[in-house]
Every structure is written in C-alpha cells, then in structure tokens.
Structure 1
Amino acid sequence: MTSPSPVRFEAARVEDTKAAGERLAKALRPGDLIVLIGPLGAGKTAFTQGLGAGLGVRGSVTSPTFVISRVHRGPLPLVHVDAYRLGGTLEVDDLDLDADVADSVTVVEWGEGLVEQLTDGHLEVRIERRPDDVRVLTFTGVGGDWPERLAAFADGARA
C-alpha cells in the first residue's frame, strides 16, 4: 500500500490548533495511536486538548510532563503520554501502555521512534512553529487504514 500525501493545516491561533484536534477526534476510534512531533512550545498539548474536547473526555487535558501519563475518561478514553524524559523503548514498555491502547486513543508527545511498535498503524502529527507564530500541522498516516481515514479527514476539513 502506498503512503498518502500528508495533510497540512495552518493554525494562526491556539484556538485553531485545538480546533484541528477536535476535528480529528471525529475520525478516531479505540486502538488509535497518535505520535506528536514538535519542539517545546509548538502546541502539542493544545492539540491534545482539542482531541479531548472532540472525544468528550471529562475534566481538563493538561500536559503529563511530570507524571509521564494521564488517562482522561470519557465515551472514548484518551491516554496522554509525555515521553520526553523516557530513555528508550524499555522505559515505554514499563509504562504498560499496551494495556490501554486497544480501548483508548493514545497520544504520545515526544514519542517518535519509541512507541510506533504498539500498533500496526499510527498517525504522526508534526507541529512546526514558524517565526510569525503560525503553527503548521502535518498529518501523516503510517500503516493500517490511515490513508483512507486521513483522506476523509482532509475532505471534511475543507467542507
């Protein structure tokens, strides 16, 4: 299967970054893994806050930097992980994330190269911050049925 072209969005405000997450939430289902890639301050947690709103999770979504992982309950639970301080895949395995992956949407900040093995396919969301403070979000589906789902997500965003 060929990889689809990435889907890109520009977010001029934090609210736009959250709105992109909320829009993506409509396409998500249990077992989905999202790997967030971007420097400090890019908007990874803001994007995840939008996901949480779209999934209808209870309570506020905050950065899990100091606790490593938070589970947000709702109709479709959201597992939010910050892998910044983890040293490698062995420490990720120690989190026992695979126990939650099948029943939740799992979002991992700083997880590139550490968590992709948890599922057969995943979505990479790269967030870059331009000098004018506009965020560029690039969505790339890797494996699974992400090519079709990403195409539907992109079509819905243009409607």
Structure 2
Amino acid sequence: MKPTFPAEGTRRLETAEDTRGFGRELGGALEAGDVVILDGPLGAGKTTLTQGLADGLGVTGRVTSPTFVIAREHPSAGEGPALIHMDAYRLVGGSGDPVGELDALDLDTGLESAVVVAEWGGGLVEQIAETYLFVSLDRTTAVEQDPDSEARIVSWGIRQPV
C-alpha cells in the first residue's frame, strides 16, 4: 500500500456513498500484491466498500457480491493492478491450503499482479501475504445510537499473519 493512505485508522461513514468514497480513497493507495480482508456482518457494507475500491483502482466490470461465484476478477482499465474480489467464506472447509484454494479458482491474473479483496477472509486469506490490510465494518454501534442510522464505523490496520 502506498504511504499516501494511513496504515491504520477509524472513520464513521454516514451513507453508502460515503462508504464508496472511502473505498475510492483506499483503492487509489493499493498496489499489486496487496491483500485486503473485509470483516463485518451481513449488510455491513463490504461489497459497497469494494465498489469504491474498484473505482479507486480503475478496474472494469460491475462489482457485486461474490457469494455465488466465490471470486470475480476485474481487469485493470489502465496500467494498474487487477482486482480479485472473493468470498472466502465459501472456501472454508477446503483443503486448508489457502494458496491452493485460490489457485484452484483458475483466475487469469496471478495474485502478485492483482489486489485481492476478500470478504469473510479472516483465518484463511491472510496466509497468502506477508502483511495484509484488515478492514472491519461495524453497523451495530451506529444503529444502537440511532435506530434510523445508515452509518457504519470502519476501522483498519495493517497486520501480519500469525
């Protein structure tokens, strides 16, 4: 990740468009080989954030939830890295070899020349990188404060696999 984006932080994002905007900002700082793990409950905004990441990366294709296809590859529209957007939840229970599981998806782009964004990736995907960016999306706190709130609190930080 380029040093133009903070390595860790927390932001309150009031709307889906704010979440996409944060994603665009983060996407502009990501580089080939970066791994991003998105964590949060259903409806927290993981796919919405990834839509912004895709815009920031300048990749092609409509970004939708990868739940039913496990992974989607979005090629770069220019000279930047491709985006591999995956639902790691569907890979859990496989061979236990995350690199092998990802390789078995037969993606056209190698992991070293793409940004990998994994929804539900904790416990599996971080093993493919020396460091990864863990992004947590919390909708509960905002809704407890105001039941009509659309806000989410996004926290992020660079981590190393254990």
TM-score range, shorter chain: 0.7 to 0.9
Q: Contact 1:89 / 1:115 at 8 angstroms: preserved in 2?
A: no
Q: Which amino acid aligns with 1:54?
A: G
Give matches, 1:7-156, under 5 Å: 7-74=9-76, 75-88=80-93, 90=95, 92=98, 93-96=100-103, 100-129=110-139, 130-131=142-143, 132-143=149-160
Distance 1:7 1:70, change over 3 A: same
SS state at 2:31 partner = coil
Q: Partner amino acid for 2:116?
A: T
After the TM superposition, which segments of 4 or more aligned residues of structure 1 sit over 4 Å from their partners? none
Contact 1:33–1:101 at 8 Å: present in 2 too? no
Q: Structure 2: any 5+ residue segments left out of the alignment?
A: 1-5, 144-148
Offset, 1:5:
8.1
* Matches of 2:42 and 2:121, distance apart in 1: 13
Q: Which amino acid aligns with 2:82?
A: P
**What is the aligned partner in structure 2 of residue 152 from structure 1?**
none
Which consecutive unaligned segments of at least 5 residues does structure 1 have?
144-159
- Identity in percent: 45
Give the root-mean-square deviation of aligned CA atoms. 2.2
Contact 1:69 1:80 in 2 (8 A): yes
One-letter amino acid of the structure 2 residue matched with residue 114 of structure 1: L
Q: Deviations over 1:57-106 (max 9, x none)?
A: 11211111100000001132000000122224626432317972200000
- Cα separation, 2, equivalents of 1:89 and 1:140: 27
In 2, Cα distance between equivalents of 1:140 and 1:83: 19
Deviates more, 1:41-50 or 1:73-82: 73-82
8 Å contact from structure 1 (residues 29, 76) kept in 2: yes
Spell out, residue by residue over 1:15-54, the C-alpha distance to the aligned partner (whole angstroms, 9 max, x if none). 0001111001121110000000000000000000000001
Q: Is the 8 A contact 1:18 1:46 kept in 2?
A: yes
How has the CA–CA distance of structure 1 residues 5 and 55 changed in structure 2, closer, same or farther, with 3 Å as cutoff? Answer: closer
CA contact (8 A) 1:49 1:61 kept: yes
